[in-house]
Structure 1
């Protein structure tokens, strides 16, 4: 962790060398997602509800997924831009260093201006929580934190899987954005509005439903069965990292230098 924090410190100092640019990018990251949120607002202003879900319930999902995505984008950006390391031969340099490749790739890039998107999502989260008639307890507050942590795990895992493809394709595949950007947009709405095939895939394969829709049922007191099970569902997002890291190590073992 000391090495990881050293990476964070160095890259933060480098990005703050151009402070005006940094703060303008941060402001842009804060304002850009508002256009998406405006679409949600106007949809509910027109129709009132979405298959039994009201505006602030969906807003809570929107904020949680937005916070998870912004944090993952900030600290897992090294995997999102990993193709440049492979194509340019930079990954060879990482392999000869006496440290784990996952740690080195994580520390190769941070996008601190994503704090703008995080701030916007946090404000929306507070707004939604203020208007929702939820009887809060320590367990529900912990579930909310689990939802954010689980979302970070899923998005980071997808970034890792996308980076692993570069061992065979050299360049990243744009189709992977279906699971990152597309998954983010999908998870911002209740899972039961989609067809069964989509619901099953995003619950048992890519467990977005386990970090958004299902634990929200517990927070809103709509559970059927064991409440503890719904509360612990977001841990599936953390467990999702395990197979992603295994696939990564398989890719590293099969890596062949670019020869540059």
Structure 2
């Protein structure tokens, strides 16, 4: 089934061996300066000398390179719980809610989203991301449940840009009817300037053939995606839209704003 995870894929991801050691930093030696009268009696922060707190803030941030045994076990448990929920239809173990024909699927989606958020929180708190965490985000970017998709994009946004993930997200958005997801994804896709042609095509398509709310969301939030290279193309799109529609008005407003900024106004 398209939207169920491959147990084999996630098992392989979960088996990644992480052996890198923690990066080490060396604080730079404080620069010396000629002492001025009375300077010795003043606190370091007032005399121009950096305080210990300031020295800590000035140090470049180094992402954690490995997990200890306890943290690996914690992540492994979260990984297994996500796999079990994602594949529960195959194992006849899905959570049940008999109040409505779709209630069980909705419940499964909410529980799966909660587990993905817990997985994301774990990695953020440990300042640790790797191939498994990137693969986990990618596996759910095209999930039909909006809560799950939202959690997957959040997990993706915490990590370094990943081209494979971005391409999956772009493809998933081509058939999206969720304006909230489209807004969230547009912000994330700003991190991929090398994929701007694909993003431009997606946004142009959404403006013209997307659902009413998706098209309006794109038109309202397109300004960060505009550039001298795609300005003419989106001006042509604007002329093709129903001229009294909200999406046409919003798009034209953003096009005017972009031209004004380009002219220094």
- Pairwise TM-score range, normalised by the shorter structure: under 0.3
Larger Rg: 2
Larger RCO (CA under 8 A, 6+ residues apart): 1
TM-score by length of 1: 0.24
TM-score by length of 2: 0.24
Which has a greater percent of helix? 1
